[in-house]
Chain A
Amino acid sequence: MRYLPLSDADRGEMLARIGVSSIDELFADIPAKMRMEAPADLPRAQGELEVERILGRMAARNIAASSVPFFVGAGAYKHHVPATVDHLIQRSEFLTSYTPYQPEIAQGTLQYLFEFQTQVAQLTGMDVANASMYDGSTGTAEAVLMAHRVTRRRKAVLSGGLHPHYAEVVRTLSRLAGDEVVTLAPDVSAGEDLLAAIDDTVSCIVVQTPDFFGNLRDLRAVAEKAHAHGALLIAVFTEVVSLGLVTPPGEMGADIVVGEGQSIGNALSFGGPYVGLFATRQKYVRQMPGRLCGETVDAEGRRGFVLTLSTREQHIRRDKATSNICTNSGLCCLAFTIHMTLLGQTGLARLARINHANAVKLADRLAAVPGVTVLNGTFFNEFTMKLPKPAADVVEALAGKGVLGGVPVSRLLPGAGLDDLLVVASTEVNTDEDRAAFIEALKEVL
C-alpha cells in the first residue's frame, strides 16, 4: 500500500523490539469476542488510476456550474477564483499544518489569521473579527448564543428575510439549548415591521442584508430601537462581495456581523467547506466564540502572533466555554485572505459593481418576459421573481434545456405559499450569451 512505509521485515523487527510476538498482542485490551477476525466487507486497496476512474465517473454525473449558463445563488455563489489562490493554499506548509498551538513554527498560519481578522473587520465596519466559524449559518447560531450571554436574555427575533437554512440552524440550536426564538413570516419585499418585534425581553434581532430574497436593508432604525431596549442587532450576509459596494452593517449600528465568506476564494463544492465570518464591537470581545489571533513579541523583541484569549475556549474552560468550536475553517480563511489581498479595495469594489451591473441587466431582461415579475425594489446581485407556474417545475425544465436558472423558494420554504417564486443570482461569470440563453429557455418553458 503506497501510503504505508513499513515493510513486513520492519514490522517483524519492531514487534521484536517491543517484546511481543504478534500485532494482536497490542490489541489485547479489545475484548476478544469484539475483535474483527478479518477486514470489513468492503473493496480492497486500489491504485491511483482505479480510484480516479471511480470518482471521475461520479463527478461526471454532475453538471458543473462553469459548463452551463448559471444563475444559482441563495447562500452560495459562483465567482471566479484566481489561479494563484488554489496554488498557494496547496503549499504543504499551509495544507498539512495543524491549528497553531506551537506559535514559533506556525507564524505563517498566525500571520494570515491576523490579516484575515483585519480584512473581515474592515469589510464589515466592525472593531474585531475572529479567526472564522464553520460557515455563515453556524456562525449565525453562535451569534445568537453570544447575544444571550451579553444581554442575559434568551429570546431571539429572526427577520423573515433571513436565509431559511440559517433560521433553521438557529431554531435547532435554540430549541436544544432551551432558548426562545420568534421567526417573522417570510418577507419577500422587505416590508416587515421589525421595530414592532423589539421589546425589553428580546436579546437580539437577526436581520440579513442583502436578504434571502435579494433586498437591501437599511438597518439604522432597527439598531437604534434595539439599543434603546438593551438588545443587540445581529446583521447577517450570505454574499460577502456585496460589502464592496453597499454600506457595511458596522456603519449602520450592528453589534455583531456574521456571514458567509465562500464567495471570496472558495469553490461552491456542493455546500462545503465554506468559511464563516464573525465580527463584533471591541467591548464584546471576551464573549466571542471561536479562535482569536493576537499580536505579541518573542524573546528577542520581534513581532509575532499567537492564539489568544483562549480562556473563552473549550480546551481551557470546558463546560463554561463560550462555544464548543475547535477546528474551524483555517484553509478556507487562507483562500479568502489571498483572494482579498489580490483584489484589494479597488478590485473588490469593481468586482461588486460588475456583479450589480450584471444583475441589473438580467433583471431588466427577465422583467420583459411575459408573465414574469421582478419583485425587488433594491438588490445587489440577486433578486426574486414571480412566475406564472411553480418555480420548481420551471427550474427542472430549464435544467433540461441546459440552463441552471435559480433556486425555487419552495425548496427552502415548502408549504409557505411561495411556490411561484424563483431566486436568481448573477455574478461576474455571466456573459451576454448566458443571459440570452436564460431568456430564450425561460420563454420556452413558461
Chain B
Amino acid sequence: MLNRQGRPTQPGAAGAEAHETFTGNRALQQEEALIFEIGRLDVTGVDFDEPEAFMPRLGGLERKGDIGLPGLSEPETMRHFVRLSQKNYGIDTGLFPLGSCTMKHNPRLNERMARLPGFADVHPLQPVSTVQGALELMDELAHWLIELTGMSAVTLSPKAGAHGELAGMAAIKAAIAAKGEGATRRVVLVPDSAHGTNPATAALLGFEVKAVPAREDGTVDPAEVARLVGTDVAAIMLTNPNTCGLFERDVVEIARLIHEAGAYFYCDGANFNAIVGKARPGDLGVDAMHINLHKTFSTPHGGGGPGAGPVVLSDRLAAFAPLPFVRKAGTVLELVENGNRTEVTPFGRVTAFHGQMGMFVRALSYMLSHGTDGLRQASEDAVLNANYVRAGLADLLSQPSGNRPCMHEVLFDDGWLKGTGVTTLDVAKAMIDEGYHPMTMYFPLVVHGAMLIEPTESESKASLDLFIAAMRDLAMAAKRGDTARFTGAPYHAPRRRLDETRAARQPVLRWTPPPPEAPAEAAE
C-alpha cells in the first residue's frame, strides 16, 4: 500500500537472515575493525604545541623508531568506541541475573559525586591538611561499614574482593604469628562451594587448603567442621549467604567450634547484599570479612573492574590491620601511613596509596541515598525477587536442595534437562537471544550444571514476570525437543558462539602487523 506521496507504508516479506549486507553491518550493529587497522601513525586526536627547543636530560636514553601506536582523530575515536559499546550487554540494557555478581542498578548520582574535583582531582600525596574532606569521606564510609556489619574496625585499602580476602587472611596470619602459632596453624578450611578466590588466596599466603564437604543442600555441616578443626587450623573461609543462595543456618555453631579451637572465622562477604540491615556478621562470630563495594554498594562493575574490597575486622584482628588508616586527632583527621606506632602492629601494606577513593565516594553516595531504612528494604527486595523467580520456575526447573526459600539468589541444577540434549551452556546462550544476560553457569561447582540466578532488588515485578515467562517458554521448548533453539544459540547476538578452544590452543593475545604480501607468482 502507498501513501499520498507514493511512499510504501507496509514492509516487504520477512526473512532477515537471508539478506547478506555488503558491509557486514546489520543496521545498528556495525562491524568495527581494530584501532591498529584503521589508525595512522601520524594522526593524533589531541592538539598540543611542540615545546620550544631545549636541552634534554635523558642521558642518551631517547626512544628511537616508531612506537607502533596509530592514532585516530576525535570523531573517529568516538565512533570506534561507541560502536564497540553497542556490542555489550549492561545492566541498563536489561535484566542481568548473574548470580553471586550482584548486577544491580548503578545510580548516576554516584558518578557525578565521584567526579567532583574535590574527590577526582586530588593527589594521594598532597599535604594532609589539603585533603581533610577526603579523609572525612573515608572516615564516614568506615563508620557505615562498621555499623552495618557490627564489627570493630575496617581497612579500606584493598582494591577488590580477592585483594580484600588477601588482606583479611593476612591479618589472621599475623594474629596467629603474634601468638607464636605460625609454625603449627597451617591449614585453612574451605567449603567445596567457595569462590575460586578463597583457595587461591589461602594458597598465596602459604596455607594448606582443606576442603569441607557440603551437605546435600550445599550448606556446611558443623559436624564436619568439628571433625576437621584442630590446633593445626588457622581459619575457615566461609561464604555467607553461601554460593548456593542459602544462609548458613549453623553459622553460630561453626563460629563457636572455630573459636574454641583457637582459629579464626573469615567470611567471604560477596553475598552481604542479602542481609544488610537484617543481620550483622559481627553478631554471627565473624573475625574478618571483605565487602565488595562493587556488589553490595553498587559501584559499577565497569566490564570487570575497578572494584573495591574493604575488610571489616573483629576486636581480635583490629590491631593487625594493614596501613594506611585514618585516625582522629581532635578536630583534625590524620592519615597513618607508616608502621612506627606502638599500640598496633599492622601486617604491612597491600597497595600504594590509600585505596579506591573513586569507589568510596560512589559507595557512600549509595548508602546516604538509601539510608539505613532503604538498605534494609533493598536486601528484603533482593530476597523477595529471587524467591519470586524460584516460585515461578520451581515446577519446570530442578533445584538441588528442593523447593525451599532462598536468599538473594536461586540455584537450579541441570536435572530438568536430562535427556533433552540441551546443556546449561545452551540454555545460557538461548537466553541471550531472548534479550537476557545469562545467569551464572556451572558455579558453584558442587552442583551439576549449576544455574545461579540473582535478579537483585533493581527489577520491577513486570520485569520479573516477563523473565519468568521467557524462562518457562525456554524450559518447555527444551523438554519438547526444540534443541536447535539452544544448541545453535545465540542467533541474534553480535557474534554467534565463539571458539574458545581455538583461542586457548593457538593464543593470539595482541594484534601484529600482517606479513607483507608475497609477490604474486605466475599461475602454473
Contacts and interface: CB of A to CB of B under 8 A. Distances in A.
A41 interface: yes
Interface string A14-44: 1101111001011111110011100111111
Contacts of B405: 18, 20, 25-26, 28-29
A317 B442 CA distance: 14
Interface in A262-284: 267-273, 275
Given A18-B388, A61-B132, A63-B122, A115 B369 contact: no
A198 B359 CA distance: 41
A45 B461 contact: no
Interface in A32-78: 34-36, 39-48, 50-52, 54-67, 70, 72, 74-76, 78
Contact of A102 (B304, B383, B438, B463): B438
A315 to B, nearest CB: 4
B378 interface: yes
Contacts of A100: 303-304
A313 interface: yes
Contact of A302 (B106, B390, B495): B495
A152 interface: no
B354 A270 contact: yes
Nearest to A51: B368
Which of B39, B370, B375, B407 counts the most A-chain CB atoms under 10 A from its CB? B370
B344 interface: no
Contacts of A379: 57
B378 A4 contact: yes
Interface stretch (B59-67, B227-235, B476-484): B59-67
Contacts of A6: 381, 384-385, 457, 460-461
Interface string A338-372: 10111111111111011011101101000000000
A375 interface: no
A3 B381 CA distance: 11
B376 A46 contact: no
B432 A105 contact: yes
A123 B63 CA distance: 11
Nearest to B80: A341
Contacts of A360: 54-57
A168 interface: yes
Given A18-B384, A169-B351, A353-B51, 9 more contacts: A4-B458, A29-B247, A44-B373, A96-B91, A96-B300, A108-B88, A118-B36, A342-B77, A345-B69
Contact of B200 (A62, A129, A314): A314
B493 A378 contact: no
B185 interface: no
B429 to A, nearest CB: 7
B303 A99 contact: yes
Contacts of B421: none
B458 A97 contact: no
Contact of B117 (A2, A64, A345): A64
Contacts of A123: 67, 69
Contact of B44 (A1, A285, A323, A344): A344
Closest 4 CB pairs of A and B: A344-B71, A59-B118, A271-B353, A61-B133
Contacts of B147: 40-42
A378 to B, nearest CB: 4
Contact of A4 (B41, B251, B377, B391): B377
B498 A46 contact: no
Given A36-B280, A300-B496, A320-B203, A271 B124 contact: yes
A435 to B, nearest CB: 14
B199 A318 contact: yes
B378 A3 contact: yes
Interface in A223-268: 243-248, 260, 267-268
Contacts of B319: none
6 contacts: A55-B119, A58-B137, A138-B159, A245-B63, A271-B124, A342-B72
Interface in B300-322: 300-308, 322
Contacts of B125: 72, 74-76, 407, 411-412
Given A43-B372, A59-B117, A218-B61, A177 B204 contact: yes
B92 A166 contact: no
B500 A356 contact: no
Contacts of A28: 405
Contact of B67 (A2, A46, A76, A122): A122
How many of chain B's residues touch chain A, expressed as a range?
A: 35 or more
A166 B381 CA distance: 43
Interface string A117-161: 111011100011101101111100000010000000000000000
Given A88-B78, A166-B352, A306-B503, A97 B301 contact: yes
B349 interface: yes
Contact of A325 (B52, B55, B162): B162
A90 B337 CA distance: 33
Given A59-B116, A165-B353, A342 B44 contact: yes
B332 to A, nearest CB: 12
Given A98-B96, A346-B44, A14 B126 contact: no
A291 to B, nearest CB: 7
A340 B119 contact: no
B130 interface: yes
B61 A247 contact: yes
A413 B387 CA distance: 55
Given A66-B121, A399-B129, A327 B69 contact: no
A110 B68 CA distance: 21
B246 A269 contact: no
Contacts of A42: 144, 147-148, 367, 371-372
Interface stretch (A199-207, A329-337, A438-446): A329-337
Interface residues of A, number: 210
A187 interface: no
A3 B284 CA distance: 29
Interface in B157-214: 159-163, 165-166, 170, 173, 195-197, 199-206, 209
Contacts of B269: none
Nearest to A308: B503
B519 interface: no
A246 B61 contact: yes
Which of B70, B305, B370 counts the most A-chain CB atoms under 10 A from its CB? B305
A330 B137 contact: no
A420 interface: no
Contacts of A43: 368, 371-372
Given A6-B381, A296-B500, A102 B428 contact: yes
A300 B496 CA distance: 7
Contact of A92 (B93, B251, B459): B93
A309 interface: yes
Contact of A327 (B54, B161, B248, B459): B161
A433 interface: no
Contacts of B509: 114, 117, 128-129, 285, 292-295, 308
A20 B406 CA distance: 12
A178 interface: yes
Contact of A414 (B338, B354, B490): B338
B24 to A, nearest CB: 8
A437 interface: no
A295 B114 CA distance: 35
B384 A26 contact: yes
Contacts of B511: 114-115, 118
Contacts of B432: 102, 104-105
Contacts of A321: 196, 200, 203
Given A35-B279, A345-B68, A270 B134 contact: yes
A326 interface: yes
B252 A273 contact: no
B22 interface: no
B364 interface: yes
Contacts of A90: 111
Contacts of B165: 324
A44 B372 contact: yes
Given A111-B32, A298-B497, A334 B303 contact: yes
